[in-house]
Structure 1
Amino acid sequence: MRLTVAVETFPIAGAFRISRETRTEARVVVATIEDGAHVGRGEAVPYRRYRETVEGVAEAVEAMAPRVADGLTRQDLAEAMPAGAARNALDCALWDFEAKRSGTPVAQVLGLTLRPLTTAYTLSLGEPHEMAAAAEAAGRPLLKVKLGAPSGDDARIAAVREAVPDATLIVDANEGWNEGNLLINMGACAAAGVALIEQPLPAGRDGVLATISHPVPICADESVHTSADLAALVGRYDAVNVKLDKSGGLTEAIAMTEAARQAGLKVMVGCMIGTSLAMAPATYYAQGADFVDLDGPLLLARDREPGLVYDGATLMPPEPMLWG
């Protein structure tokens, strides 16, 4: 088995704005494992919020080349690397490689019948009229609305709801709210019939969530990475966002999803902005999830070929040529 690592850049269609940054491109790290006859790939999206850099993640993956050559398994990987983007790239590459080499699809290994999924479509943070226009133009049944500005989020969500009265709305504040505006913004979300609020407060400063009512269910994102974090969420959150790049790959994402359900938490399957190769493994543990947000490729100016097939808001299962 031989490991190679590549850094690739994909332009974002326009700009993608959240509470703490604006991006115009997605830089991803791709791990490829091959034996001369079979090839497995995994894509990771390093995230600066978690103190990751593209260069650092690529170096961490490359450092595992000798272990891969010696026959590294997914179980070995979980002990050898911490959760995060680097481990995700390798874990997903190993899943794909094992499927290609054995001829047994990942879905069969997991005992799954893959079904199409309804995915959210993300609206970047902007002025109320801009976000309302974007919501109407999107024409999607499920929208994820980025909020978290210093002020005016109540007007933003009201404007979006007026523009799309029948759409299901998820709000993502990306840690942008505080104790001063939390209740006002939550009340505005409740008035707008929002189905879920993601990470309203900064991770580590979210204890107040255990002391207030939740007129809208609250989902942990930055506050949760792996199964080990779930116990601390009880009483504060109603749901968890399970992402491959946080959990460190499909292996832990599956375990985390099962543990979250056992803890009575709803499950959202989310993503960073990456290509279809990054989304494909997530479609497996997204089967049966309460909310699915795997729209990364839809936000790009170009995707991989072949990529995932989106029919409006419907995400089709990945073809084996792409992954799995």
Structure 2
Amino acid sequence: MTLTTETSRRAKSQPQAKRARRVEPMHLIFLVPTLLVFTLCITLPAVMGIFFSFTNSVGYGDWDFVGLSNYALMFTDPAILKSFGFTIGFSAVTVIVTNVIAFLLAVGLTAKIRARVAMRTIFVLPMVVSPIVIAFVFQFLFAKSLPAAATALGIGPLEETILANPDLAWISIVVVTAWQAIPGTMLIYIAGLVAIPGDLYEAAALDGIGAWKQMQLITIPLMAGYILINVILTFKNFLNAYDIIVGLTGGGPGTSTRPVAMTIFSGFENGDYAYQMATATVFFLITLAIALLQLRLMRGKKQ
């Protein structure tokens, strides 16, 4: 009798569970404005841009199909290849700098030290400041303050601003970009460090394992997922760097620090609409590949 009652109760609850999982029509209605804006402002322009990359359009007026001519020219254009090389190289270096410093800061700010909560607040401040404002502030520091201080202290190599040096200007971009990106990256690392059970460290200490060995055997292995997330997210973000570079170096000296985004925009102004849309399409495919890699790696971590 008990089994029959239980079976009957489960049978009645199944339709209720299905109804509970069903999405209410009103929820879907609220998605319509967002989908409409996304389609009109992002999806449609992207599709049109890919279409015009196979033409000779200058952005208006008549145009003709030219097939893959724009793509063939792009892969032999030294200016385009240089901008791709700078963007990828700058992104790779900044990813390493950002993640190493953010990880070390996260370890320090989760340790048992005084005023660690206040220090976390201070370190997060760069994240809420506009990139273009940060760029102009650091541009003044690199162009005026640092050379003046170097002159007063007799430090010869720094008496001239590195912003005017084609071989060193990229260093200033790495410094400023990392300075703003570190807080957000650090917060993710702090979340991971806080989630590690303290019993593991206590047991390791009882076994005579020092702090450095604990870092190697406990912290880094358990933080592998968070490190992977930060590396991929920061790399994707740095590929799209624009504001800080515009405010700091303007892509100069010459074109030594010009990223892909700036090359594309400058081409629009010079009537190379279709040609730069081909560049933007290739750049989009690279970013998409990184996003798919992220999803694949994260799915592997969950499994």
| Structure (1 or 2) with the greater helix fraction | 2
Alignment TM-score > 0.5, same fold: no
TM-score by length of 1: 0.25
| Structure (1 or 2) with the greater strand fraction | 1
TM-score by length of 2: 0.26
Q: Please tell me whether Structure 1 or Structure 2 has the larger radius of gyration of its CA atoms.
A: 2
